[in-house]
C-alpha cells in the first residue's frame, strides 16, 4: 500500500487544491438532493396511517440525527489522528466539524420536539434517547468552548482531541437507548440488515435526504476547513499569491 | 400526489404549524451554515489584502 496520499494529507496546500475541486460537486449535490427530497417527502409521500402528516418531519429529523452522530464520530477519528500522528489537518477538521455537528444536533432536537407535541402530546420528556442527544449537544459545545479557550495551538489540539475521544462513549448510548430503556422514542427506522417496514414511497425520499445531508455536511465542513487553512498558513507564499489574486476578483476567490 | 389542493397542502391535516415550523427552522439553520462561512471567508480575504498592501507600501 502506498502511503504517499497520507503524507500529502498533511500538506495544507495540497488539501486546499483538492478540496477546491470537491467543494462545488458536494455543494450542488447537497442542494439538489435536499430540494428533491423535501418536495418528494412533503408533496408526494403518502401520509402515515397513525400520525397523519406530522410524520413528514421525519425527512429532516432523521437525516439531522444521523449527521449529529456521524459528525461526532468524525470528530473522534480526527482526534485520534491528531493525537497519534500530530497531523495539523486533523485538528483543523475537528475544530471545523464541531460547530456544524452542533447545528445538526440542534436541528434533530428541535424538529424532534416539534414532532413530539402532536405525536406524544409533549414537547420534551427526560427519556433516554432525548437526554443522550442533549448530552451530545453539550459535548459539541464543550469541544467548541475548549478549542476557543486555549490559545496555544498544540495544547488546544490535544485537549479537544481527548475530549472528542472520551465523548464517543455517548454514541452507543444514543444508539441503544431505545432498546436498553423504556422510551417514548420509536426504534430505528432504518437498519442495515432488514428491509424498511414502510413503503418505498415513504423511505426513498428519506434516503435521498440522508445522502443530501451528508453532502451538505461535507461541503460546509470543507468550506470552514479551507478558511482555517488560509488563516494558519497566512505567512506562506502560496496563500499570499491567492490573496493577491482575490483582490483582482473582488475577494470572491 | 397526496394533496388535492394548495390549501390542503398548507394545512397538512391540522399538523400544518408543526410541519412548517420544523421545516422553516431547518431551512434557516442550513442557510445560516452556508452564509456564515462564506461571509467569514470574504472578510478574511479583504483584511489579508489590506495587510499585504500595507506591507508593500511600508
- Residue A84 belongs to a domain: yes
- Residue B1 belongs to a domain: no
Q: What is the pLDDT of residues B5-30, one digit of tens each?
A: 888 888 888 888 899 999 999 999 99
- Residue A253 belongs to a domain: no
Domain total for chain B?
Answer: 1
- Residue A10 belongs to a domain: no
Q: DSSP of B14-57, one letter per residue?
A: TTHHHHHHHHHHHHHHHHHHHHHHHHHHHHHHHHHHHHHHHHHH
Q: Say which of A54, A243, A251 has its CB closest to residue B15.
A: A54
- Residue A4 belongs to a domain: no
Tens of pLDDT along chain A (253 residues)? 556 666 666 788 899 999 999 999 999 999 999 999 999 999 988 888 778 888 899 999 999 999 999 999 999 999 999 999 888 899 999 999 999 999 999 999 999 999 998 888 888 889 889 999 999 999 999 999 999 999 999 999 999 999 999 999 999 999 888 888 877 888 777 666 666 777 888 889 999 999 999 999 999 999 999 999 999 998 888 998 888 887 766 544 4
- Domain around A200: 22-248
ipTM: 0.90
Q: Say which of B23, B33, B49 has its CB closest to residue A246.
A: B49
- Residue B19 belongs to a domain: yes
Domain total for chain A?
Answer: 1
**Contact (CB<8Å) A103/B26:** no
- Residue A154 belongs to a domain: yes
User: B-side interface with A, Cβ within 8 Å?
Assistant: 1-3, 9, 12-15, 18-19, 21-23, 25-26, 29-30, 32-34, 37-38, 40-42, 44-46, 48-49, 52
Alpha-carbon span A197 to A213, nearest angstrom: 22
**Contact (CB<8Å) B44/A230:** yes
B56 Cα to chain A: minimum distance (Å): 12
Amino acid at each position: 500500500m502506498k502511503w504517499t496520499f497520507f503524507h500529502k494529507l498533511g500538506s495544507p496546500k495540497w488539501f486546499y487544491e483538492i478540496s477546491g475541486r470537491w467543494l462545488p460537486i458536494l455543494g450542488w449535490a447537497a442542494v439538489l438532493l435536499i430540494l428533491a427530497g423535501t418536495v418528494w417527502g412533503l408533496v408526494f409521500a403518502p401520509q402515515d396511517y397513525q400520525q397523519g402528516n406530522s410524520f413528514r418531519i421525519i425527512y429532516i429529523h432523521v437525516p439531522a440525527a444521523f449527521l449529529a452522530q456521524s459528525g461526532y464520530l468524525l470528530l473522534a477519528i480526527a482526534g485520534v489522528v491528531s493525537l497519534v500522528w500530530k497531523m495539523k489537518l486533523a485538528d483543523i477538521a475537528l475544530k471545523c466539524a464541531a460547530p456544524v455537528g452542533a447545528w445538526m444536533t440542534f436541528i434533530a432536537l428541535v424538529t424532534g420536539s416539534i414532532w413530539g407535541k402532536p405525536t406524544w402530546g409533549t414537547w420534551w420528556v427526560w427519556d433516554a434517547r432525548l437526554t443522550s442527544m442533549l448530552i451530545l449537544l453539550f459535548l459539541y459545545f464543550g469541544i467548541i468552548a475548549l478549542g476557543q479557550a486555549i490559545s496555544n495551538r498544540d495544547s488546544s489540539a490535544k485537549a479537544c482531541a481527548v475530549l472528542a475521544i472520551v465523548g464517543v462513549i455517548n454514541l452507543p448510548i444514543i444508539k441503544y437507548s431505545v432498546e436498553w430503556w423504556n422510551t417514548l422514542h420509536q426504534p430505528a427506522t432504518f437498519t442495515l440488515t432488514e428491509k424498511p417496514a414502510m413503503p418505498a414511497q415513504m423511505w426513498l425520499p428519506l434516503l435521498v435526504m440522508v445522502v443530501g445531508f451528508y453532502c451538505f455536511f461535507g461541503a460546509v465542513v470543507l468550506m470552514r476547513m479551507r478558511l482555517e487553512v488560509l488563516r494558519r498558513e497566512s505567512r506562506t507564499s502560496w496563500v499570499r499569491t491567492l490573496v493577491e489574486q482575490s483582490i483582482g476578483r473582488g475577494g470572491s476567490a | 400526489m397526496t394533496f388535492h389542493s394548495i390549501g390542503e397542502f398548507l394545512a397538512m391535516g391540522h399538523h400544518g404549524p408543526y410541519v412548517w415550523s420544523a421545516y422553516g427552522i431547518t431551512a434557516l439553520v442550513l442557510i445560516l451554515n452556508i452564509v456564515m462561512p462564506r461571509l467569514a471567508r470574504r472578510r478574511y480575504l479583504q483584511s489579508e489584502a489590506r495587510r499585504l498592501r500595507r506591507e508593500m507600501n511600508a
